[in-house]
Amino acid sequence: MPSGHVHNLINSSVFALLAANGYISTRAGILIPLPSQMLAFSGGFWVGTLLLSPDLDLATQRVNSKRNWGMWGWIWHPYGMMFTHRGLSHSYFFGPLTRVFYLGAILIPLGYLLRPALWRIRSVWHLEPRVWIALVLGYYVSQWLHLIADGIPFNHGWRRLKHHYSRFAK
């Protein structure tokens, strides 16, 4: 299994390729992305690569993506306890959502407390749909690159769910 550094290297290389490709396509008039879309895609991609990596399922140990959270790394400890390594956390559709929802569950109460400060940046929720799509796409692409590098089969999530269900049904 590739280490955190190798994952970062793979993701950075693919990002450079995508950026070069995007630049050429834009120059050729094939692709006309908005600057906000490019920013959203890049933001989603790097957050997914550095901060919301599937390997946070190892957060009970020392792992790169947990270290990137600095003094807040411990917030991922329960996530590491909840998810077995390369289990549902490493599924293509559901896995990336588990980390977003987990973080949301922590940040929403905090956001409620800090709402006067958040009031000022509320414009983020008014992103246009096409900018949201770029953000989500950037995030998912970063996650899929990780899963492909890990050699995870595409039906992994489905197989895991079926496995859990068949255990309950017995």
Task: Specify the residue, 38 or 82, whose C-beta has the smaller distance to Zn ion.
Answer: 82
Count the neighbouring beta carbons within 10 Å of the beta carbon of residue 102: 19
Please, what is the minimum distance in Å from the beta carbon of residue 28 to Zn ion? 36
Hey, CA dihedral for 98, 72, 127, 139, is it positive or negative? negative
Question: Do residues 49 and 142 make contact, with C-beta atoms less than 8 angstroms apart?
Answer: yes
* DSSP string across 12-30: HHHHHHHHHHHHHHHHTTS
Specify the stretch interacting with Zn ion by CB under 5 A; choose among 69-77, 91-99, 127-135, 150-158: 150-158
Please, what is the minimum distance in Å from the beta carbon of residue 137 to Zn ion? 20
Total H helices, total E strands in the chain: 8, 0
Please, what is the minimum distance in Å from the beta carbon of residue 4 to Zn ion? 9
Does residue number 55 form part of the binding site for Zn ion (CB under 5 A)?
yes
Where do we find the tokens 């807040």?
Answer: 72
Tokens (6 digits) for 144: 């899929």
Q: How many chain residues bind Zn ion (CB under 5 A)?
A: 3
Residue of the chain from 46, 69, 127, 150 that contacts Zn ion (CB under 5 A): 150
Task: Specify the residue, 42 or 64, whose C-beta has the smaller distance to Zn ion.
Answer: 64
Specify the stretch interacting with Zn ion by CB under 5 A; choose among 62-70, 73-81, 143-151, 162-170: 143-151
For 63, residues 6+ apart whose C-beta sits below 8 A from its C-beta are 4, 55, 56
Does residue number 106 form part of the binding site for Zn ion (CB under 5 A)?
no
Does residue number 57 form part of the binding site for Zn ion (CB under 5 A)?
no
The binding site for Zn ion (CB under 5 A) comprises 54-55, 150
